[in-house]
Structure 1
């Protein structure tokens, strides 16, 4: 399955949440609310989830295979870094 679009909304805050992402597959299927989070070992991608009555969380959508997860994570982290670079360039030009 080919990733055809990745859109990142950078979150400017002191929280661990760094961005919210929408990813499109094959120009036909979209997944919203994927989060980019700053963890102890760097950035990681958290799939959209909902809070359960017991207080835990359950993924709403997630890849089944490790290679698809890697493809999604790599695409999202790359797009996130490109967004940061574009924002930095725009602020320098102002």
Structure 2
């Protein structure tokens, strides 16, 4: 899978964050907010993918954070993280200047989508999707939402410190399609897979309801001398 990397050094070096990276698959889909962190005890650097706070709790009651997106295979994880750290090393060698790998060949990355229909009372959410790039990288927490007329897709986002004209918090996508062509192709596939999954779920629910109704109808009869008679 072809991709390009952009790395910058963090301005504030007081914590353990040393830099940030972004990743673009082909020229079509961008991942931001990848952190380069320092393990001070081991004096080593490591890569941390963007994360979100889940509703889950650990055994001590603490908040569980999960990756918004991440490499699936150990081979691609090692390749990607090594390339990010190598690029960061070149940033430091140039005294904090931005570093970009060579632009990859213009192409749309191969991808597949899975969708789980999901509704929450009082919410316009209709489903959650996952995007798989070349069976090597996954993007989680993609939402299918109901608009006034049509369904639309919302990519994973985070709350910034900025506010809009009405004083509301501004959210920014963590990852998103870069080109119009790929956005239309990706979003159409997500909505299509949602419709398929929804129809399958409704079919299964109907089958379960029919089975239950038949079972209840059968229970209304009792056998007398081997014959089924209505129960009164």
The TM-score normalised by the length of structure 1 is 0.91
Distance 1:45 1:69 in 2: 10
Alignment pair present for 1:11 and 2:118? yes
What does 1:54-73 correspond to in 2, within 5 Å?
Answer: 54=162, 55-73=169-187
Among 130, 142, 146, the alignment partner of 1:22 is 130
Report 1 or 2 for greater relative contact order, CA contacts < 8 Å, sequence distance ≥ 6: 1
Name segments (4+ residues, structure 1) moved above 4 Å: none
Distance 1:36 1:12 in 2: 10
Deviations 1:12-32 (A, max 9, x none): 234211111111011112111
Q: Rg larger in 1 or in 2?
A: 2
Number of aligned residues? 93
The TM-score normalised by the length of structure 2 is 0.39
- Give the structure 1 partner of residue 159 of structure 2: 51
Unaligned 5+ runs, structure 2: 1-108, 163-168, 209-232
Q: CA deviation at 1:6?
A: 1.4
Unaligned 5+ runs, structure 1: none
